[in-house]
Chain A
Amino acid sequence: MSNLDWNSPSVSKRLVKRHAAERRFKWIGFGAIVLSLSFLALLLVIMLKNGLAGLDYRFLTGADSTDPTVAGVWGATKGSLLTMGVTLLLSFPMGVLAAIYLEEFAPRARWIEWVEVSINNLAAVPSIIFGLLGLAVFINTLGMPRSSPLVGGLTLALMTMPVIVISGRNAIKAVPPSIREAAYGVGASKVQTTFHHVLPLALPGILTGTIIGMARALGETAPLLMIGMRAFIATPPDGLNSPSSVLPMQIFLWSDEIDKAFVQNTSAAIIVLLVFLLTMNGIAIYLRNKFEVRW
């Protein structure tokens, strides 16, 4: 091949072929993205087309009903808010404290490895398994009320906590050691350094992770099916112990209705849920962009 003639027709034909393959490959990649995003567009367009007409004041303030024209989404929304409240109150402090311990204080020991492995695995356990746990422990063993926001919130908190721990650890890890050393240098103790200096700097990252975890919990249906939150509830819940529904569950229940009029309700409820989720994700992105410090 030492005296290869670069101008011979066979070589230039080969080059043309290779460049065509290059272009083809690039277009396939581009096509993959367009196809994936067009699924997203199709989904959103169909939901908007079906549901937008059903979004009115009565729909947003009413509770569930067997009559599609008076059924509303407020009962489920209130249930979702109560459930999310329980989840946040439990999983946020526990998750942040666990992240602090594992990142700043944990000794290098065998059992710490077990804690880390179990947190990483919990983050990947199918959500329905958490529902089975909630059913077996909270309802059958501890006798808590079925279908209540309390049990739903507890179950989702167990699911959300690992997500918060993992994002919290990453945020704490990103705080440079020089901050800690400066605090030690002026005489702060380890606990003071962590709570007065490291934690405030890591907080935006932790909050971003928390919001993303909460958004996931808000859209979750399967574990709540397990603990019986699928009953027909015609009045908004008035406490943590009263039977209630949540937004995704309302969508699921309405999607099962035979009456065609419920298609509009289902789609409208999906729009409400997606608006909540997009707002939460938007806040998370805003927090990340605004407070993220590049060290």
Chain B
Amino acid sequence: MILTAVLLAVIGLGLVGWFAARGRARLLYSGRGSMHSMPSYHAWHVALWILVPALLVWGLWQAVMPGLVEGAVFASPAAAHLPTDPFQLGAIVSEARNLAADPSAASFNPEAEALVEPFRAAQTRFGLMGAALVLVVAFAGGAFAFTRVKARFRARTQVERAVLALLLIASLSAVLTTFGIVASLVFEAGLFFKDVSPIAFLTGTHWSPASTAGDNISNNFGAVPLFWGTIYIGAIIAMVVAIPLGLMSAIYLTQYATRDVRKWVKPLLEILAGIPTVVYGYFAALTVAPVIRDFAASVGMPNPSTESALAAGLVMGVMIIPFVSSMADDALAAVPRAMSDGSLALGATRSETIKRVLLPAALPGIVAGVMLAISRAIGETMIVVMAAGAAANLSANPFASMTTVTYQIVQMLTGDQEFNSPKTLSAFALGLVLFIVTLILNIVALRVVKRFREAYE
């Protein structure tokens, strides 16, 4: 509580410093060219010197204070006859902390009551110490900077250096995120692979993580049916829908449509890409899946299920259409005009030009676009969660229920189970595989696109 007040005080101090420095700098002004920096830069310079060191100390104190408080509490006479069992001790200490913060909190251990007073005393003492420290640092920083408000002082250079540091930190955060993803996936997957051998995981064909039967749990974590389901739904069924429709839409829009048609149809297609995946999933489960089930029944499939690979794949394909279309659009636009003009001049019709000249020339770009589309489809979660089913089937029957990597990640991590069981950790191993595969697809595709662009420039 004290520390929160101090935070406000420091910010207020920064504000005061800002105005004071600006006022002082204005007084120094004695005509054109008399000062290096404008008064507002002096103001920012002082404000930064007040805020940045003080906030750093504040954060540091926030981090170390709980330890100091606990140390003081254990040293107090009230803590002389506490149990030595670390688990029990931890419970008592955390209870006492809650009681100190809120006297009406429930208490179960009588020892905790005795600790409340020392706790409060220590918290007040260290809180005041921290507050004093932060304020001293803020004053010292401000005073130091204030003495530097001189006509010749290069305040702008200093402030700009701080701005650059801020920009740098912002761009490094992206690298930090990547690092965080890789580190957390590798770490948790590492724990998983301690129990389950990676080879059994990558080549086994039996997936039943819930069952603990069998002497070797590795045999329950064969992920091949998951990989197959993912590829079958995302890379085969969805692409069979999305590639022809997306490609033909792009060809029509770039080669045949008038400008007005293009102006209206393109944003409409983009809407397809903007619809949330949970809506597609609901559409698949509510509308598409029953139709497919009835169709399967009518062609004589024995007890078809509502959840089918086909329903999920079809809807996923529709979702991917605009993506394929815009990638194909870019690839076709990158082919030099002279190539198709030459073909038309030789007497070829438009469709012949497209089929024999434009498409072969744009092929690398289109292939790269399809790779990006596949990487998006295999990472898609909600549609398969709502329409594809949970059964790990290794079959080529599109009417069968099939499961995917993303579905199993969701399945493993929702519900109540302890965090460190192999079942839960398997989600991170699956996530790692998914991350690596999409990463490779993306890197290869982006490289192909780059090469392809350079070839025609």
Contact = CB atoms under 8 A, between A and B. Distances in A.
Contacts of B385: 222, 252
Contacts of B255: 29
A28 B248 contact: yes
Contacts of B282: 251, 255, 266, 270
A137 B280 CA distance: 30
A132 B184 contact: yes
Nearest to A118: B178
B223 interface: no
A225 B414 contact: yes
A208 interface: no
A285 interface: yes
Given A114-B175, A270-B282, A136 B188 contact: yes
A255 B178 contact: no
B349 to A, nearest CB: 4
Given A40-B268, A129-B181, A263-B286, A252 B278 contact: yes
Given A35-B245, A126-B379, A43 B283 contact: yes
Interface in B282-312: 282-283, 285-287
A46 B283 contact: yes
Given A19-B349, A126-B406, A115 B276 contact: no
A106 B180 CA distance: 23
A52 interface: no
Interface stretch (A62-70, A171-179, A273-281): A273-281
Nearest to A26: B256
A137 B274 contact: no
A162 B173 CA distance: 10
Nearest to A19: B349
B435 A125 contact: yes
Interface stretch (A53-61, A94-102, A234-242): A94-102
A120 B248 CA distance: 28
B427 interface: yes
A37 B376 CA distance: 21
Contacts of A37: 265, 268-269
Contacts of B251: 29
Interface string B140-179: 0000000000000000100010011011101111110110
A162 B174 contact: yes
A127 B431 CA distance: 11
B272 A101 contact: no
B252 interface: yes
B78 interface: no
Interface in A20-41: 21-22, 24-26, 28-33, 35-37, 39-40
Given A36-B318, A132-B431, A140 B349 contact: no
B382 interface: yes
B349 A18 contact: yes
A84 interface: no
Q: What is the size category of the interface that chain B forms with chain A?
A: 35 or more
Given A128-B410, A129-B434, A222-B381, A270 B279 contact: yes
B163 A126 contact: no
Contacts of A251: 278-279, 282
Contact of A25 (B245, B351, B413): B351
Contacts of B349: 18-19, 21-22
A273 B428 contact: no
- Which among A128, A215, A274 has the greatest number of chain B C-beta atoms within 10 A? A128
B171 A101 contact: yes
Nearest to B166: A97
A198 interface: no
- Which among A37, A39, A47, A165 has the greatest number of chain B C-beta atoms within 10 A? A39
Given A36-B245, A122-B174, A252-B386, A47 B168 contact: no
A219 interface: yes
A22 B350 contact: yes
A97 B382 CA distance: 33
A94 B173 contact: yes
B271 interface: yes
Interface string B368-410: 0000100110111110011000000000000000000010011
Contacts of A118: 174-175, 177-178
Contact of B286 (A25, A46, A195): A46
A89 interface: no
B382 A222 contact: yes
Contacts of B378: 126
Interface string B92-105: 00000000000000
Contact of B279 (A115, A120, A274): A274
Given A39-B318, A40-B268, A101 B279 contact: no
Contacts of A219: 274-279
A33 B279 CA distance: 21
B341 to A, nearest CB: 17
Contacts of B442: 120-121, 124
Given A133-B180, A222-B406, A127 B272 contact: no
B416 to A, nearest CB: 10
Contacts of B267: 285
A120 B434 CA distance: 17
A121 B439 contact: yes
Given A97-B170, A100-B167, A114-B175, A137 B180 contact: yes
A42 B287 CA distance: 10
Contacts of B25: none
B367 interface: no
30 contacts: A36-B246, A36-B249, A36-B321, A43-B279, A43-B280, A47-B283, A93-B170, A98-B174, A101-B164, A118-B174, A121-B442, A125-B379, A125-B435, A128-B379, A129-B379, A129-B434, A132-B181, A162-B174, A165-B171, A189-B156, A219-B279, A220-B276, A221-B277, A222-B410, A252-B385, A255-B278, A255-B386, A274-B275, A277-B274, A277-B276
Given A46-B286, A125-B439, A133-B181, 4 more contacts: A32-B246, A36-B325, A98-B174, A161-B173
Interface of B: 156, 160, 163-164, 166-168, 170-175, 177-178, 180-181, 184-185, 187-188, 244-249, 251-253, 255-256, 265, 267-269, 271-272, 274-283, 285-287, 318, 321-322, 325, 349-352, 354-355, 372, 375-376, 378-382, 385-386, 406, 409-410, 413-414, 419, 427-428, 431, 434-435, 438-439, 442-443, 446
